Amino acid sequence: MRHKKSTVNRSFRVADQIQRDLAELIRELKDPRVGMVTVNAVEVTPDYAHAKVYFSVLLGDPVECAEGLNEAAGFLRNGLFKRLSIHTVPTLHFQYDQTTERAADLSALIARANATRAKED
């Protein structure tokens, strides 16, 4: 059991390091489609072959931003090779994360419901 736990911990550490390094590397991109990106989470497959990178974007179109990031994935992966001390640097797959958007929508709905209830009381 101990081996499995240490493998899981290592996977989390690698994902965390990838997340931090990618945040810096993405800032260096010159692609106009890639705006102010926040890397929200990274999920690495157990064999480290692939990493799903969930991001949100403050300014710009999320679909265009995802296209720009996925086109730059090879460049970003190269940057990770230079920074990470692991044998296999995963292939990166960028996916727009709508969590913060949904949270804002839910907050607005709750505020509206509370305002309506307050008027009725």
Domain count, the chain: 1
- Compute CA 75 distance to the chain's CA centroid, rounded to the nearest angstrom: 17
Q: Do residues 56 and 101 make contact, with C-beta atoms less than 8 angstroms apart?
A: yes
**Residue 74 burial (10 A CB sphere; 0-12, 13-18, 19+):** exposed
User: Which range marks the domain in which residue 43 is found?
Assistant: 2-120
pLDDT in tens, the chain (121 residues): 445 666 678 888 999 999 999 999 999 999 999 989 999 999 999 899 999 999 999 888 999 999 999 999 999 999 999 998 888 899 999 999 987 777 777 787 888 888 888 888 7
Helix (H) or strand (E) holding 52: strand 50-57
Report how far residue 119's alpha carbon sits from residue 121's, in angstroms, rounded to the nearest whole number: 6
For the entire predicted model, the pTM comes to 0.78
CATH number at residue 100: 3.30.300.20
